[in-house]
A and B are shown apart, each in its own frame.
Chain A
Amino acid sequence: MWLRGISGLSLAFLYLPIIVLVVFSFNASRLSAVWQGFSWHWYGVLRHDEALLAAAANSLWVAALSTSIVVLLGVPAAMGLERLRGRGRRSLETIFLLPLVLPEVMMGVALLLFFVMIRWPLSLATVVIGHAAFNLPVVIVMVRARLQKLDPRLEEAARDLGASAWQTFCRITWPLVRPAVLGAALLAFTISLDDFIVTFFVAGPGSTTLPLRVYSMIKSGISPEINALSSVLVLSSMGLVGLSLAFQRR
């Protein structure tokens, strides 16, 4: 069947470049496109690249901090939006979703200008803020999707039985939305870990993240070390996203 053939080819189109990249990260040769035997050599090189390890540490810090911020702000915001009715809700939704529709380059330059205007020196902190700005709608959208499926009578019953708002949240709402929040947090973490464009504009000197490091490595020439690094990045984001999907299913 021709449809099946075309679909198979499209899937191959999506996966082949990634597979090729991973396979050649195990190539012993320095001339990266000719296969000369299996080797872990380039992964060893990665482990001893000090600048790279520092960039990886930066990336993990940024992802952890920005994810914490968007969860702390996003979960209450999603609950608040669910309780609102009428026209106010629509316009607030628009504001919250704004970062999702802005071109990334625009978000990057806008934040850069803003930080320069308020004389906030560019650093890892500005990167964290930038990531938390574009990840907030991600958490809000995902948590709201779960809240909309909840039976409102559960919360009402808890309130009728004399539970305070805080008790209702802790005992009823939170256990029900927890998988969605974990899934959203993992996704926000992955997006932050992978972000290049916004980081590119708002990172200060000395606050190189992993994608910025990969970019400068690519710009300064192709080496099998980039393949090895890329494979690590691909596998870690696939793992994180797989975990996130598993949480959303529950």
Chain B
Amino acid sequence: MNQSSFSVESAAGSRSRFAGFRLLVPGLLWTIVFCLLPMIVVLAVSFATRGTYGGVVWEFSLDNYRDLLHPLYGRIFGQSLLMAGMTTGLCLALGFPLAYYIARLPPRRQALWLVLIMIPFWTNFLVRTYAWIFILRTEGLLNTVLIQLHLISTPLDLLYSNQAVLLGLAYGYLPFMVLPLYAAIERVDPALIEAARDLYADRWSLFRRVLLPLTKPGMIAGCVLVFIPSLGAFLTPDLLGGARSMMVGNLIQHEYLVARDWPLGSALSLVLMLMVMGSLLWYFRAQAPQAGAGGGR
């Protein structure tokens, strides 16, 4: 009796598993055709040759990757890594105190603050970038106010600089840092912080010896979430940056739509993707010890 009911159950189980697979086939096909396949096309084109009038000639070559070694591209990749790194640092510096403050609020106020942090993130990115143009440009709000207050006599050149790009990126991605940090800090037992205080830890050693080790996975999560979109940024450097603020995203766009060198553009976007995958791998490795502690994975 027992055995027969067991076999019925497992048959039903495998039937529902099959039904499960049938349910996800349409979505799977959609993702394969309109995401995976296009990426395979990019991979293939990156090994092809540029036609005389643009377009793609299917002749195998490694020239596109060899071209990437040109110092000009190296400089742009370096610039992108530097900007993304600085954005991440700035967001961490701004985000940690904010996340710590929210995590120590009473639960109801916590929910309110989290919603307040999320709302700007859900408003149009283009519009938020435009807001900074409006504030920073030569005839912009900041210069106008400073001149009216007689703090300066001639307007400052704030827009179209690397600093403006950095500001725009940090502004855009700060919520990505705050949310995982908050989740990590919220889990820290307040008794540990009290104990550290009782043992006369100052603010710095409280942060370095208690909070930092306990919230490291959350910090890494926040850093990766800010670093990835900053590295591939296109709009912010395009609108707020100057001639020397070009980042990989702008270079890819330039190769595709202006220079019409699709093979080179494809090679560039694959390198960008490898960098993104690299930081994701680092993220998963950092999160793994925690998750695997019970499962031994």
Contacts and interface: CB of A to CB of B under 8 A. Distances in A.
Contacts of B45: 113
A226 B126 CA distance: 11
B107 interface: no
A113 B38 contact: yes
B235 A197 contact: yes
Interface string A69-83: 100111011011111
Contact of A196 (B41, B113, B235, B272): B235
Interface in A63-103: 69, 72-74, 76-77, 79-85, 92, 95-96, 98-99, 101-103
B223 to A, nearest CB: 15
Give the interface SS of chain A, mostly helix, strand, loop or mixed.
helix
Interface stretch (A26-34, A41-49, A50-58, A177-185): A26-34
Interface residues of B, number: 81
B38 A110 contact: yes
Interface string A208-236: 00010011001000100011001001100
Interface in B216-269: 228-229, 231-232, 234-235, 239, 248-249, 252-253, 256-257, 262, 265-266, 269
B24 A101 contact: no
A155 B32 CA distance: 30
Contact of B20 (A73, A80, A234): A80
Q: Is the interface of B mostly helix, strand, loop or mixed?
A: helix
A76 B124 CA distance: 29
B69 interface: no
Given A24-B134, A233-B124, A95 B32 contact: yes
Contact of B123 (A95, A218, A237): A237
B282 interface: no
A4 interface: yes
Contact of B21 (A14, A69, A84, A113): A84
Contacts of B232: 103-106
A105 B41 contact: no
A161 interface: no
Contacts of B34: 111, 114, 129-130, 132-133
Given A21-B130, A98-B35, A201-B256, A110 B21 contact: no
A99 B33 CA distance: 12
B101 interface: yes
Given A80-B20, A95-B36, A103-B232, A136 B124 contact: no
Interface of B: 16-17, 19-28, 30-32, 34-39, 41-42, 45, 94-95, 97-98, 100-102, 113, 115-120, 122-128, 130-135, 137, 139-141, 143-144, 171, 174-175, 228-229, 231-232, 234-235, 239, 248-249, 252-253, 256-257, 262, 265-266, 269, 272-273, 276, 280
Interface of A: 3-4, 6-7, 10-11, 13-15, 17-18, 20-21, 24, 31-34, 69, 72-74, 76-77, 79-85, 92, 95-96, 98-99, 101-107, 109-114, 117, 129-130, 132-133, 136, 140, 165, 190, 194, 196-197, 200-201, 211, 214-215, 218, 222, 226-227, 230, 233-234, 237-238, 241, 245
Instruction: Sort A-B residue pairs by CB-CB distance and give the 8 closest, nearest first.
Output: A83-B20, A103-B232, A80-B24, A77-B27, A80-B23, A110-B38, A17-B131, A114-B38
